[in-house]
Structure formats: structure tokens, C-alpha cells
Amino acid sequence: MKPVEKINIDGFEIGGDQTFVIAEIGSNHNQSLPFAFESIDAAKESGANAVKFQSLNLKELYYDPSDKIIALHKKIDLEESWHLELKNYCDKKRITFFSSPTYLKSVDILESVNVSLYKLASAQIGTFPQIIEKVALTGKPVIMSTGLVSYGELESVVNIFNRSGNNKYIILHCNSIYPTPFDMVALDLMETYSKMFGCITGFSDHTDGIAVALAAVSLGAKVIEKHFVLDKNIPSPDAASSIEPKEFKELVSGIRAVEKSTKKNFRTEIYPEEQSFKDIILYRLILKENKKKGEIVTKDDFNYLRSAKGIDCRMENTLSGKKYAKDILKGTLLENKDIE
């Protein structure tokens, strides 16, 4: 089954001219619903098209968790009752809400609040085919990351989608190293996935700063996901590898600039703004010596200086052999009326 080339999410066409920018709030909610709402507000203000959370629940994920795992989930779990409140708040703010389901029940919860799309994290892509199939069977668009996934595993996942009759999937190149060293990013994998599967591709960015995400857009990424936090000092394990609202706003602004500058434009003429500048820097013909009326024009008669008026130096060859129409002094800016 051939993947779709464009996917409409709440009025935004993924695969079109603009990049779909996701603020990955994830577990950076500080286990506070008001803080989560504030994070959504900041993401919207920063220009994000969507906010993504992670549907985590210790009891649904581990058989016999260690004390370390228990301590971690006390910081990152998302209350199941919050999903509806977060979805309603995002609808009110006109920003797309979605989440990464990590256990089967979380898919039911997300379906109950009618999310527009899903995200399958690489931790599930490479380990949990049951949840992949359940998400695929919703028929909803799905974004999937590849950080912990081999080519073979990714192919198996695509096969699950094909068997499920769901061709609305997007593959994000991703590195599951926090932060990812620049020399380990390998953005060319986006093109590899595009050629392998023929689907929309993008980049889930875990590098420092915003430069690599901007590079990804210049290389054709149609989705960019970046971890987002109100304040890096909050006690969340994701906070250190996230960017704050000011930098996220710079990211979105940079993405929009890259989109405009890389848009295909098969122009055959220069822009009017360029032409107006060119007109004032054209080199014109200036007489080296005094000339008498009737004298023959030669190419050795001229110096060349910039001016907004006068005969263009590129017309010099068309004047050779013609005559001067009047007596003209040395240093004169030659005009058409000066030539017979």
C-alpha cells in the first residue's frame, strides 16, 4: 500500500509547503496540570503547531520495577484523567494535542478523547508490535521515531500498517542519545527512509541548540519535533535536553525562513527589487577626449563609470562606426541624443 503524500491534521497539511513543528512537552509537566497548561500556552506563543505528551503509567508498564524506576515515574507519569483536560485545553487554544501511548490501555484513552494523530516512540516501535497494531488499526495518522529501531524492525512496522490498511504514517529520523553529538546525527537517513518507504519524513531532534533542526528542514523534513520546557531547572529528566520558549520561538522563526528560502522557484528573470539596484550600478560610457560633430565613434573613445543614466557600456559595440551628433567635451556622460 502506497503511503499518502499529504496528511491533514486539524487544518494543517503535513507534506505541504510548511513544516509541522511539534513542541515535545513529554514529561516536562512537573506533574502539575496548571504547569502543563502553562507549557501549552508557551508552546502556542512560540509558534508550535502541536504539543506532544507521553502517556506513561508505572503500574501499566512494569512487572517488578526497581526503586530507581519507581522514583523516576513519580516525576514523569501522566495522570490518565488529564488526557481529556489537556485535549480540551489545546482545542480551546487552537493547538493540536497528541501523545505517545506506551501501554495498550493508553490507546483507548487517547481514542476516547479523539486525538487527531498518534506518536509511536522508538521505544515501542522496536519492542512492542501489539501496540503498533492497535494504533495502526485506529486508522489515524501516525508519526513514528526510529532512534532505537533497525532497518529490519522499521520494515516490520510498516508491514503492520499495510496489513492494517493504514497508509497515513510519517517516519522521523531520530537519535536516542541525549544530547546527540553532531557527528552522530546522520540527517541523510531522512532521505533513506523516504526512498525505502515513499512516505513523509522528518526529524525528532535531540541535539543541543536548533542548528541541526534547521538543517533538517533545508534537507526536506516535513515534521520537526523538539523537546520543550518552560524552565530547564524543573525536576524532570527531560528538562536538560529541552529548549525553553525563547529558543523554541527562534527555532520556529528559523524554520519558516528556511522554508521560504528553499522553496523551488524556477525564475528566468531577476526580481524587480534586484533590477532597481542593478539599474543604479550600471557602467556607462564617458568620453575620454573632446569630440567634434561628425567624428566616427570607436571603442577606444570611452572610460566606464557607474551612473543611473547614460548609455550602457554593454551597448558600446553597437555604436562603433556611427558619428557624434554634436561637439562634446571630455568627461561627458554619453547619451543617445549625442549619437547620430
Find the CATH number of the domain harbouring 40: 3.20.20.70
Looking at the structure, tell me whether residues 319 and 237 fall in a common domain. no
Is 1 within a domain?
A: no
Q: Give tens-digit pLDDT for 200-209.
A: 999 999 999 9
User: Residue 223 above 80 pLDDT?
Assistant: yes
| Residue 340, burial from CB neighbour count under 10 angstroms (0-12, 13-18, 19+) | exposed
| Same-domain pairing of 221 and 161 | yes
Question: 293, 325 in Cβ contact below 8 A?
Answer: yes
Is residue 285's pLDDT more than 90?
yes
pLDDT of 188 above 90: yes
Residue 27 in any domain: the answer is yes
Q: Is residue 19 located within the same domain as residue 119? A: yes
| Cα angle value 57/63/67 (rounded, 5°) | 75
User: Residue 100: which of 204, 1, 19 has the closest Cα?
Assistant: 204
Same domain assignment for residues 100 and 205 = yes
Burial of 142 (0-12, 13-18, 19+ CB in 10 A): buried
Overall average pLDDT of the 42-46 stretch: 98
Q: Which triple of cell numbers denotes residue 75? A: 516525576
The answer to whether position 311 is within a domain reads yes
Number of compact structural domains in the chain: 2
Residues making up the chain, counted from first to last: 340
**280 and 206, same structural domain?**
no
Q: Is the pLDDT assigned to residue 167 strictly greater than 80?
A: yes
Cis peptide before 179, with omega less than 30 degrees from 0? Answer: yes
* Cell of residue 276, nine digits: 532597481
Average predicted confidence (pLDDT) for the chain: 95
Domain that holds residue 305: 272-338
- Given 262, 296, 318, the domain boundary residue is 262
User: Per-residue pLDDT tens for 249-274?
Assistant: 999 999 999 999 998 777 778 888 88
In this structure, are strands 50-55 and 169-174 parallel, antiparallel, or unpaired? unpaired
Distance CA 219, CA 16 (A): 14
Instruction: Say whether both 255 and 296 belong to one domain.
Output: no
Predicted local distance difference test score (pLDDT) of residue 126: 86
**Residue 328: what pLDDT?**
97
Residue 310 lies in a domain: yes
**123 Cα distance to chain centroid:** 24
In this prediction, residue 290 carries a pLDDT of 97
Same domain assignment for residues 39 and 131: yes
| Residues with Cβ within 8 Å of residue 121, at least 6 apart in sequence | 54, 100, 102, 144, 145
Are residues 100 and 77 located together in one domain of the fold?
yes
Give the residue from 214, 241, 262 where a domain finishes. Answer: 262
Task: Examine residue 2 and state whether it is found in any structural domain, yes or no.
Answer: no
pLDDT of residue 257: 97
Has residue 213 got a pLDDT over 80?
yes
The pLDDT of 180-190, averaged and rounded, is: 96
- Say yes or no: 334 and 252 in one domain: no
98 and 230 assigned to the same domain: yes
- The whole-number average pLDDT for the span 95-118 is 98
Q: Per the domain annotation, does 45 fall within a domain?
A: yes
Q: Which three cell numbers stand for residue 244?
A: 525553553
In a domain, 267, yes or no: no
H or E segment and range at residue 226 = strand 223-227
pLDDT at 9 over 80: yes
185 found inside a domain: yes
**pLDDT attached to residue 312:** 96
Whole-angstrom distance, CA of residue 115 vs CA of residue 191: 29
Contacts of residue 180, Cβ cutoff 8 Å, sequence gap at least 6: 206, 207
The CATH number that applies at residue 333 is: 3.90.1210.10
Q: Are residues 19 and 158 in the same domain?
A: yes
pLDDT for 240: 87
pLDDT tens for 19-28 read: 999 999 999 9
Contacts of 8 (CB under 8 A, 6+ apart): 14
pLDDT of residue 169: 98
pLDDT for res 268: 78
Supply the pTM of this predicted model: 0.87
Domain stop point among 198, 231, 262: 262
Q: Does 25 lie in the same domain as 62?
A: yes
pLDDT per residue over 49-70, tens digit each? 999 999 999 999 999 999 999 9
State yes or no: pLDDT of 293 exceeds 90: yes
